[in-house]
């Protein structure tokens, strides 16, 4: 018996499209920084930050995908386990931070820890703390189903965030924890660039190790039981499997991965703040990443993380950098886009006329080409899109570029909402659908 699918020669268009979109996000970020006058090292540092944070979200998405995508457990408390991992690692690896009192006023309340342990030890402790907490929470919570499980775990995350904000002598309160050391402390003018590249390397190694371990687990008999629980828990119980133990294990391992992501996040940013870093909106972002990328497979979770966080990152780049260049080069950019669009439309018109005059030239008939070739359809749509961008410049010319930049964040949220609606309607399994397993 084998559960491998029969070989197929179909072109993976969904994968090609999504990787092209991620590549486009990176390209627009580079162009935005170049327009603003950033140096090559500055551009690479910025890209390194994007990749580092995207890796953090990818690990978060892998943990949630194990719980929901493979086991069917809808955890709405992702931000809580993320917070536990971040703070435990920060307690372990930061130097001592005593309270700062000036004139009888507490300027900085200090925080627990200050043990200055190595980073690997801090990450292991973060995984153990978050995984153990997830197991303790799961014992009563997993007896609930569907919406009730989501409500219980969401309440846990909110309570934990409020407690972290108010336990000032332990967590630093709303000020948070600062001075979290990077993996390697560099000195000199290139320190920021070297630090960014080191974080990318460390994050990539952790992500690769996580994928390998999770892939082995998912394809093992243990992983097959998880998928059986997701599809029909009662039938799995009838086959003699203790489904509660399997769900407890999946929930705890997913929580440990979220704790690992929290530790990596604290090291990447160098500081932690309970209000901004671990709000319930983090949970929503991870949901969207897994839903968009495709639940039930690791590739989908990672692609969703890079895509959705990429939309947030690029909105910041366009707002903070490209808008400055837009103000200086507005007319030039408008004319370039209009010129490209007009030339593309003229070329399409000439092909159409040629197809009418010489019906024997099948390649010159645009309608036939569009029907037969997805590449030609893409070229035609790109031509109209470029032309539309030129007209968009004309329509917003009445506004100041800074006013346009203020709306970019809202535009990003609108695009994510539209993307979710389209996926739910036309491709509910996500961009990279789960591989179908057929016993033969």
State pLDDT tens for residues 49-74: 999 999 999 999 999 999 999 999 99
Containing 420, the helix (H) or strand (E) segment is helix 408-426
Containing 272, the helix (H) or strand (E) segment is strand 271-272
Average pLDDT, the chain: 83
Structure confidence at residue 9 as a pLDDT band (50, 70, 90): very low
State pLDDT tens for residues 137-152: 999 999 887 788 999 9
Task: Say whether 292 sits in a helix, a strand or coil.
Answer: helix
CA angle (165 as vertex; 55, 179 as ends), nearest 5: 55
Q: What is the pLDDT of residue 20?
A: 82
State pLDDT tens for residues 177-190: 988 999 998 988 88
State pLDDT tens for residues 357-383: 655 555 455 555 565 666 666 666 676
Considering only the C-alpha atoms of the chain, give the largest distance between any 2 of them, rounded to a whole number of Å.
91
Beta bridge partners of 271: 178
State pLDDT tens for residues 159-172: 999 999 999 889 99
Which DSSP letter does residue 2 get? Answer: -
CA 380 to CA 374: how far, in whole Å?
A: 10
Containing 107, the helix (H) or strand (E) segment is strand 105-108
CA 172 to CA 228: how far, in whole Å?
A: 44
Containing 314, the helix (H) or strand (E) segment is helix 298-317
265 has a pLDDT exceeding 50: yes
More confident residue, 200 or 32: 200
Length of the chain: 440
pLDDT above 70 covers a percentage of the chain that reads 76
State pLDDT tens for residues 193-223: 999 999 999 999 999 999 999 999 999 999 9
Q: Going by DSSP bridges, is the β-strand pair 100-102/271-272 parallel, antiparallel, or unpaired?
A: unpaired
Containing 377, the helix (H) or strand (E) segment is helix 374-395
Q: Going by DSSP bridges, is the β-strand pair 177-178/105-108 parallel, antiparallel, or unpaired?
A: unpaired
> Which range has the worst mean pLDDT, 61-65, 97-101, 129-133, 192-196?
97-101
What b-and-e string marks burial along 87-110, b requiring 16 or more CB atoms within 10 Å of the CB? bbbbbbbbeebeeeeeeeeeebbb
Q: What is the pLDDT of residue 166?
A: 92
State pLDDT tens for residues 377-410: 666 667 666 666 666 655 555 555 555 556 666 6
More confident residue, 98 or 17: 98
C-alpha distances in angstroms, 287 versus 115, 159, 384, 395, 404? 35, 20, 33, 35, 29
**Half-sphere exposure of residue 230: CA atoms within 13 angstroms, side-chain side:** 19
pLDDT above 90 covers a percentage of the chain that reads 48
281 has a pLDDT exceeding 80: yes
78 has a pLDDT exceeding 90: yes
Structure confidence at residue 230 as a pLDDT band (50, 70, 90): very high
Angle between helices 298-317 and 40-64 (to 10 degrees): 140
Structure confidence at residue 1 as a pLDDT band (50, 70, 90): very low
Determine the average pLDDT of the residues in 219-237: 93
Q: What is the pLDDT of residue 367?
A: 56
Alpha helices in 99-241 (DSSP H): 119-141, 147-166, 168-171, 191-218, 221-231, 233-238
Q: What is the pLDDT of residue 253?
A: 97
Q: What is the pLDDT of residue 351?
A: 64
Q: What is the pLDDT of residue 330?
A: 58
More confident residue, 101 or 86: 86
Contact (Cβ atoms closer than 8 angstroms) between residue 52 and residue 269: no
Task: Say whether 271 sits in a helix, a strand or coil.
Answer: strand
Name every residue whose Cβ is closer than 8 Å to that of residue 91 and which is 6 or more positions away in sequence: 111, 112, 113, 114, 115
């Amino acid at each position: 018996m084998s559960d491998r699918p029969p070989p197929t020669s179909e072109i993976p268009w969904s994968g090609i499209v999504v990787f092209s979109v991620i590549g486009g996000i990176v390209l627009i970020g580079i162009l935005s920084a170049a327009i603003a006058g950033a140096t090559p090292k500055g551009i690479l540092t910025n890209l390194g930050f994007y990749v580092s944070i995207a890796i953090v979200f990818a690990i978060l998405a892998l943990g949630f995908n194990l719980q929901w995508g493979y086991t069917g457990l809808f955890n709405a408390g992702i931000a809580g386990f993320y917070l536990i991992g971040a703070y435990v690692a920060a307690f372990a690896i930061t130097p001592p931070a005593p309270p700062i009192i000036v004139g009888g006023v507490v300027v900085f309340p200090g925080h627990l820890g200050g043990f200055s342990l190595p980073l690997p030890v801090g990450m292991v402790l973060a995984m153990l703390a978050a995984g153990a907490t997830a197991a303790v929470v799961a014992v009563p919570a997993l007896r609930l189903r569907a919406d009730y499980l989501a409500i219980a775990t969401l309440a846990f995350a909110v309570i934990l965030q409020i407690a972290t904000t108010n336990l000032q002598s332990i967590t630093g309160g709303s000020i948070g924890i600062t001075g979290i050391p990077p993996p390697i402390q560099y000195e000199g003018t290139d320190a920021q660039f070297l630090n960014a590249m080191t974080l990318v390397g460390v994050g990539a190694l952790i992500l690769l190790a996580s994928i390998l371990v999770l892939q082995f687990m998912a394809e093992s008999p243990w992983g097959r039981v998880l998928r059986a629980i997701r599809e029909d828990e009662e039938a799995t119980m009838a086959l003699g499997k203790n489904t509660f133990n399997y769900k407890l294990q999946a929930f705890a391992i997913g929580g440990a991965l979220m704790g690992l992501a929290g530790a990596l996040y604290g090291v990447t940013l160098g500081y932690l703040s309970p209000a901004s870093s671990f709000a319930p909106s983090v949970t929503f972002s991870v949901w969207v990443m897994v839903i968009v990328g495709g639940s039930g497979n690791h590739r989908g979770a990672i692609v969703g993380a890079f895509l959705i966080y990429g939309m947030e990152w690029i909105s910041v780049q366009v707002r903070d950098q490209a808008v400055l260049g837009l103000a200086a080069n507005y007319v030039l950019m408008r004319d370039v886009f209009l010129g490209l669009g007009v030339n593309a439309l003229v070329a399409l018109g000439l092909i159409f006329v040629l197809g009418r005059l010489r019906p024997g030239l099948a390649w010159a008939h645009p309608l036939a080409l569009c029907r037969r070739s997805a590449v030609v359809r893409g070229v035609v749509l790109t031509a109209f899109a470029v032309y539309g961008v030129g007209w968009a410049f004309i329509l917003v010319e009445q506004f100041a570029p800074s006013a346009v930049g203020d709306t970019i964040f809202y535009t990003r949220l609108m695009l994510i909402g539209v993307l979710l609606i389209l996926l739910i309607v036309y491709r509910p399994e996500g961009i990279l659908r789960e591989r179908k397993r057929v016993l033969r």
